[in-house]
Amino acid sequence: MSSTLHVAPVVLSMVGAEPIRDGAVLVEDGRIVAVGSRSEVHSAGARERVWRGVLMPGLVNAHAHLQYTDFGDLALSGLAFPEWIRTLTARRADFSEVMWQESARRGVHHMLRSGTTAAADVVTDPCVLVPVGRSGLRGISYVEVIADDAMWAGGRRAAFLDTLDGASGGRALGVSPHTPFTVGTAVFEECVAIARERGLRLHPHLAETAHEAEFIRHGTGRFAELNRAVGMALELLDGGSGGGPAAYLAGFDGLGPDVHVAHGVHLAAEDRALLREQGTAVALCVRSNAILAAGEPPVADYLAEGAPLALGTDSLASSPSLDMWEEAAAVRELAIRQGYRADDLDRRLVEAVTVGGAAAMGGLDGAGALRPGGLADLAVFDVPTQGDPYAALLAHGTGSCVATVLGGRLVHRR
């Protein structure tokens, strides 16, 4: 039995709101045994690691596409969303399985290096499942579906089911019907049914752009043109649904506590209320939204309304980094600009990148919090510890990760 005592000036367990000063976390065989102040945690025989800064749960990235890590130049291209997605789709043809796997591995490395130990990873090419699974990264790989009825019947349904039944390197699987403008309504509904039959979670993109909201309501606009250009026959092309994006999903039971959506930029109050009532969390990706000129999500409203929130980076194809603190700082700035004034902002954003992200994926076996019995997924950030640690993480967290522990194993150290 190997035991390690991790000691730091501040420990944030994310179980209670109070930071533990001069704190300690005792880890044995990959699990947490005790969390408390150094004087309370008894650790006879444990090897001791003394850290600077804040010791806390490994962070949770609630929306990413690891396989697109090597598409970083696209984030600098200045393309708006419709042109961007067309370019990304065209670029895919140049990539082999080995290249996708390498790209995904590099993404995992970026995450571990910045203190992220769990991620909701959307998987377009199933060849990345095994390498990501083997890396030990926690979270769920959501197998993506893009199809109209003809594509679905013509092989994509069979391929999708094969992926769900195939090897995943130990990685938990979920289902990601890509978006309402790339998945037919009947196909989307069947994806939801398949996920529920198998007890898998769901994670679609929703309301990322105003074009999407228009397409859902009226069946018109840029995505109608794009669909006609590529010959996709979606039900929404026939006049739209008449309602908002969340109402559209609710129309076929596509919301619920087993679902979290990415983006949620263009959602009016009644759509946000629907998500909340159904227990559906939103993973905000505000830096990606800014790069793709998709708009700004109503962060202040989400916070004031008590929405279940998580944060994501999206992929490097539309984001400057996979560092969750950089994302959280951008969300903070937006919330303040939108008029959010309550003094709980920093703490709630730290919750969003820990317990909030884990909750968006069904809890992840206690990830996002430090509790006896839980998995020892920890991160240490070298930020000032004299004042409020939540504020310090938001202000100085970016690039500050000095150690990451995954299942008790030190996987990054600087």
Dist. CA 131–CA 135, nearest whole Å:
6
- Nearest residue (beta carbon) to Zn ion: 314
C-alpha torsion angle, residues 280, 261, 60, 175 (rounded to 10): 100
Q: Rounded to the nearest whole angstrom, what is the least distance from the CB of residue 145 to Zn ion in the complex?
A: 14
Q: Contacts with Zn ion: how many residues (CB under 5 A)?
A: 1
Residue 49 or 203: the one with the smaller Cβ distance to Zn ion is: 203
Contact 176, 140 (CB under 8 A): no
Residue 214 or 314: the one with the smaller Cβ distance to Zn ion is: 314
Binding to Zn ion in span 192-251, by CB under 5 A: none
Q: Rounded to the nearest whole angstrom, what is the least distance from the CB of residue 205 to Zn ion in the complex?
A: 5
Residue 77 or 220: the one with the smaller Cβ distance to Zn ion is: 77
Residue 20 or 292: the one with the smaller Cβ distance to Zn ion is: 292
Angstrom CA distances, 165 to 129, 133, 381, stand at 12, 15, 39
Residue 178 or 347: the one with the smaller Cβ distance to Zn ion is: 178
DSSP assignment of 85-144: HHHHHHHGGG--HHHHHHHHHHHHHHHHHTTEEEEEEEESSGGGHHHHHHHT-EEEEEEE
Residue 314 or 323: the one with the smaller Cβ distance to Zn ion is: 314
Q: Both tokens of residue 80?
A: 């708006």
Q: Rounded to the nearest whole angstrom, what is the least distance from the CB of residue 262 to Zn ion in the complex?
A: 5
x/- mask, Zn ion, residues 94-133, rule CB under 5 A, reads: ----------------------------------------
Q: Both tokens of residue 124?
A: 């377009």
- Bridge partners (DSSP) listed for residue 10: 21, 54
Contact 312, 64 (CB under 8 A): yes
Q: Rounded to the nearest whole angstrom, what is the least distance from the CB of residue 180 to Zn ion in the complex?
A: 14
Q: Is 133 exposed, middle or buried (0-12, 13-18, 19+ CB in 10 A)?
A: middle
Nearest alpha carbon to residue 182 among 223, 126, 142: 223
Q: Rounded to the nearest whole angstrom, what is the least distance from the CB of residue 211 to Zn ion in the complex?
A: 15
Q: Rounded to the nearest whole angstrom, what is the least distance from the CB of residue 164 to Zn ion in the complex?
A: 20
Residue 6 or 65: the one with the smaller Cβ distance to Zn ion is: 65
Q: Rounded to the nearest whole angstrom, what is the least distance from the CB of residue 65 to Zn ion in the complex?
A: 6
Dist. CA 276–CA 273, nearest whole Å:
5
Q: Rounded to the nearest whole angstrom, what is the least distance from the CB of residue 386 to Zn ion in the complex?
A: 38
Q: Rounded to the nearest whole angstrom, what is the least distance from the CB of residue 288 to Zn ion in the complex?
A: 7
Q: Is 338 exposed, middle or buried (0-12, 13-18, 19+ CB in 10 A)?
A: middle
Q: Rounded to the nearest whole angstrom, what is the least distance from the CB of residue 32 to Zn ion in the complex?
A: 32
Residue 64 or 151: the one with the smaller Cβ distance to Zn ion is: 64
Residue 1 or 90: the one with the smaller Cβ distance to Zn ion is: 90
Nearest alpha carbon to residue 97 among 52, 56, 74, 128: 128
x/- mask, Zn ion, residues 260-299, rule CB under 5 A, reads: ----------------------------------------
Residues in contact with 70: Cβ distance below 8 Å, sequence separation at least 6, in sequence order: 99, 102, 103, 106, 316
Q: Both tokens of residue 292?
A: 């793709």
Residues in contact with 149: Cβ distance below 8 Å, sequence separation at least 6, in sequence order: 184, 186, 187, 233
234 C-beta neighbours (distance < 10 Å), count: 23
Q: Both tokens of residue 193?
A: 């049914």
Contact 7, 50 (CB under 8 A): yes
Residue 241 or 288: the one with the smaller Cβ distance to Zn ion is: 288
Binding to Zn ion in span 298-327, by CB under 5 A: 314
Question: Given the rule CB under 5 A, which residues bind Zn ion?
Answer: 314
